[in-house]
Structure 1
Amino acid sequence: MGDTALVIGGTRFIGRHTVEDLLDHDYEVAIFNRGNHENPFADHDDVTHVEGDRRERMDLKTAKLSVDPDIVIDCVAYYPEDVRVATDLFDDVDGYVYISSGSSYADEEIPKREGETALCDCTPEQEEDDSMETYGPRKAEGDRAIFAAAEDGANAMAVRPCIVYGPYDYTERLDYWVDRVLNHDRVVVPGDGQNIWHRAYVEDVASALRVVAEEGEAGEAYNVGDRRLVTMEEMVNLIADAADTTCEVVHASDHELSAGGLTSSDFILYRDYPHVLDTNKLAALGWESTPLSEAMERTVAEHHESDRDGSEHDPGREAEERVLGVLETV
């Protein structure tokens, strides 16, 4: 085996794929978490599990002493203090990588660039809040903690994914659209179908974390997302192609959606203003993204094996049918 990696998290979505990527690149891997979720690596000889709470400094210190990692990938740092504590404890590793977010950007620019697009401000009250309204500010403050740690000599870096999709996605955001395509001949897409919300295939996020740990520069942040962006309509068509089926995309304006009591914002992965991240800085390190057709084929294949259907994001098929009925008369 090669170097040792400690993954804080490591059993659910991004963390699970990160462990698999590290194993594929000859790392010995340890995962550190509370053990609240099923461990898919329980029977893997090259993955050890250290149980503990990442918000408890002594637990994190114990993990460091028992694993002695060369690199650390932090998948579950949701509060700025998490980053401060981790970068202090792991200030001597070859690379500490914090998973930030494209949500840390404050300005709506196309594209959003590292070091150029302004980050969200974060008040002391927001630092401790756990609502989605403060997610972006908390991630941005975590980025600033990375910058400060690097100034103090830590090999700390940040990776900012956009919306992540792929196998084992417990958020079920894309599962909603896959389920629609698999079960209906006509799928309502809000607006003209040209909406763009940059997405990142999860295996590419995993490889980005490793590449940044190995090749990144301390104190820098790196955006990650599909190198080729697709519109919402193209996304639906990619799903249909991957599922070897056909599906008619039906556009509906907010006026037309109102026939079913719906608005564009009722549809998951719809965003009024395009969200696009510049990924050139990451690509310059040698990182590449998976072709979209391959990424969607793997995503749809795993969806078939799962029991996820994205129903929590469902605006209601009966409401959509009313919209489709109105559009048929136009």
Structure 2
Amino acid sequence: MTRSLVIGGTRFIGRHLVEELLAHGHDVTICNRGNHDNPFAETDEVDHVETDRTERRDLEAAKLAVEPTYVFDMVAYQPGDVATATEVFDDVDGYVYVSSGAAYGAAEIPRREGVTELCDCTDEQATDDSPETYGNRKAEGDRVVAEAAESGVNAYSVRPCIVYGPHDYTERLDYWIERVSTEDRVIVPGDGDNVWHRAYVEDVASAMRIVAASGEPGAAYNVGDRRLVTLREMVELIADVADTDVEVVAAGERELSAAGLSTDDFVLYRDYPHVLATDRLASLGWESTPVREAMARSVTAHRESDRDGSEHDPGREERDAVLDVLDTV
């Protein structure tokens, strides 16, 4: 029996990973502190071990209880967490650390594993927990994985770009789905052609499973949709799968500034393109879900939830003011 231990596992990516592992015959245990609702609490398919992943003795106890074949680390946010985990699980068949496309420090298109420079990480950044040092800490975690592999540990990194799909508590995509679902005209910042590579959550889950079984120790694997879409194309795709019509209206800095806004006030906007090469992962047999299918599932999940992305809304009055400016041009 293949036993998989998922550190985390109850929220977004981890939830899909558990479902992916179950679908492929794994015996799954999740370990966490129990601070979030456990979607698998009512099933006997998934075991749970209450664990504080920052405590080495808790990880050691989880290892003894589960005797895992594979370990998937969803919530290692500081490189020290990764170092401890690679020591505790140094004899498993596969330890997979969830890194991030934010680990890349160089502005290259596309960003490639082993080629594009990673972010530096100072000692102070390594123990920080602010969003500003997220990429630095993830990059240092990648370096810890590589060093562990040199010592014989079957450790791997998976680097997803920004993730979307059902159960996404960040509600980033929900903002755009809500706009398309409730409005006739949807503002996209800039010219609408900006690109921020995204990864469908089920594809991230399958990538982790495949890397654990077939990856090269010490290597990192980017994850992202094999077909990229611009922000404008994403909005149009949402409208298509939602079977509704919207007018996509591009607004530059001049029009936005009239309402006190900027392009950065719109979620999923990124000025410089962020694109990850995914050939290394594809060489293991991984395939991404067609983007239209992934978006259709995301729209369905949005409709079945109470998420509306309102926390990302720059403001209805502000958006109306921008449209008024555009209508007078």
Report how far residue 178 of structure 1 moved. Answer: 0.7
Report how far residue 306 of structure 1 moved. Answer: 1.0
User: What does residue 48 of structure 2 align with?
Assistant: 49
Amino acid at match of 1:306: S
Helix, strand or coil for the counterpart of 1:300?
helix
User: What does residue 317 of structure 2 align with?
Assistant: 318
**Structure 1 position 66 matched with structure 2 position 53:** no
User: What does residue 5 of structure 2 align with?
Assistant: 6
User: What does residue 246 of structure 1 align with?
Assistant: 245
Helix, strand or coil for the counterpart of 1:238?
helix
Amino acid at match of 2:104: Y
Helix, strand or coil for the counterpart of 2:90?
coil
Helix, strand or coil for the counterpart of 1:164?
strand
TM-score with structure 1 length normalisation? 0.99
Helix, strand or coil for the counterpart of 1:308?
coil
1:279-318 Cα distance to aligned partner (Å, 9 max, x none): 0000000000000111011111111111111111110011
Taking the TM superposition and a 5 Å limit, the aligned residue runs for 1:31-50 are 31-50=30-49
Report how far residue 238 of structure 1 moved. Answer: 1.1
TM-score with structure 2 length normalisation? 0.99
Taking the TM superposition and a 5 Å limit, the aligned residue runs for 1:6-155 are 6-155=5-154
Number of equivalent positions = 329
Gaps of 5+ in 1: none
Report how far residue 151 of structure 1 moved. Answer: 0.6
Counterpart Cα distance in 2 of 1:187 and 1:95: 45
Counterpart Cα distance in 2 of 1:214 and 1:260: 52
Report how far residue 10 of structure 1 moved. Answer: 0.2
Amino acid at match of 1:43: E
Counterpart Cα distance in 1 of 2:29 and 2:197: 31
Report how far residue 24 of structure 1 moved. Answer: 0.5
User: What does residue 259 of structure 2 align with?
Assistant: 260
Helix, strand or coil for the counterpart of 2:258?
helix
Taking the TM superposition and a 5 Å limit, the aligned residue runs for 1:202-221 are 202-221=201-220
1:60-102 Cα distance to aligned partner (Å, 9 max, x none): 1111000000001100000000000000010100000000000
Helix, strand or coil for the counterpart of 1:260?
coil
1:130-153 Cα distance to aligned partner (Å, 9 max, x none): 101100000000000000100111
Report how far residue 259 of structure 1 moved. Answer: 1.6
Sequence identity percentage:
69
Amino acid at match of 1:212: V
User: What does residue 270 of structure 1 align with?
Assistant: 269
Amino acid at match of 2:116: T
Counterpart Cα distance in 2 of 1:67 and 1:44: 18
Gaps of 5+ in 2: none
Report how far residue 205 of structure 1 moved. Answer: 0.3
Counterpart Cα distance in 1 of 2:196 and 2:78: 25
Taking the TM superposition and a 5 Å limit, the aligned residue runs for 1:290-305 are 290-305=289-304
Q: Which consecutive aligned stretches of 4+ in structure 1 deviate over 3 angstroms post-superposition? A: none
Counterpart Cα distance in 2 of 1:147 and 1:296: 34
Q: CA RMSD in A?
A: 0.6
Counterpart Cα distance in 1 of 2:67 and 2:113: 31
1:157-205 Cα distance to aligned partner (Å, 9 max, x none): 0000000000000111111111111110100001111000000000000
